[in-house]
Chains A and B, each alone.
Chain A
Amino acid sequence: RKEVEQDPGPFNVPEGATVAFNCTYSNSASQSFFWYRQDCRKEPKLLMSVYSSGNEDGRFTAQLNRASQYISLLIRDSKLSDSATYLCVVTLPNDYKLSFGAGTTVTVRA
């Protein structure tokens, strides 16, 4: 079983729509959680950390469910510029290594 699993998508949504997707992780000891965004032929960029109580950053909302071992990302009022692959990332305690999911592709159309 992979450490981090994501629905690869693609999620094709119109501008202004809301899109949400999840990521599951296998190790219950996982401690830190992140969403990264990767544009085509570019490097992954940190989008946001995911906190236990959930957190928002503008149109982006991240949630963590430790009991069910998943994190989610919701994008409100989608923009064309939100089209990208979103990578779910987890780490273990006292470990610098990041475990990456394979990514969820989102395409926002005009």
Chain B
Amino acid sequence: DAGVIQSPRHEVTEMGQEVTLRCKPISGHNSLFWYRQTMMRGLELLIYFNNNVPIDDSGMPEDRFSAKMPNASFSTLKIQPSEPRDSAVYFCASSSLQGVGQFFGPGTRLTVL
């Protein structure tokens, strides 16, 4: 049974470039979450979707960040333009019901030079 799938696993880019991270949630899960993790700030929720609709994007740092979920099996997180302070591990997670926890993908390790 496939878990949450993320791509790419590693991304190195230069400041100012556009970065697109991809996520495929577990089949049947109706909630999807994007997180960012750094040593300094820990795990931060950026945005979450329920039934493909963005419910809470208050964690999105600024307008350079955008996220979409065009269907139940795919979501993207885009950073344009990227900055060195965006360097972090970005996790996607999905869940099926409230109160049952979330399942995380392996993450995308982003380095912006």
**Interface SS of B by simple majority:** strand
> Contact at A32–B104, with CB atoms within 8 Å?
no
> Contact at B106–A32, with CB atoms within 8 Å?
no
Instruction: Check B102 for interface membership: any CB of A closer than 8 A.
Output: yes
Total A-B pairs in contact (CB under 8 Å)?
Answer: 45
* Residue on A nearest B97 in the bound complex, by CB: A96
B45 surroundings in chain A (CB, below 8 A): 97-98
Q: Mark A75-110, 1 if CB is under 8 A from B, else 0.
A: 000000000000101010011111010110000000
Number of chain B interface residues as a range: 20 to 34
Kindly identify which residue among A32, A46, A96, A103 contacts B42, using a CB–CB cutoff of 8 Å: A103
Interface residues in chain B, defined as those with a beta carbon under 8 Å from any beta carbon in chain A:
31, 33, 42-43, 45, 48, 50, 55-56, 91, 95, 98-107
> Contact at B104–A98, with CB atoms within 8 Å?
no
Instruction: Check A25 for interface membership: any CB of B closer than 8 A.
Output: no
**Shortest beta-carbon contacts, A-B, top 4:** A43-B104, A32-B99, A46-B101, A100-B43
> Contact at A32–B98, with CB atoms within 8 Å?
yes
Instruction: Check A31 for interface membership: any CB of B closer than 8 A.
Output: yes
A94 surroundings in chain B (CB, below 8 A): 98
> Contact at B98–A43, with CB atoms within 8 Å?
no
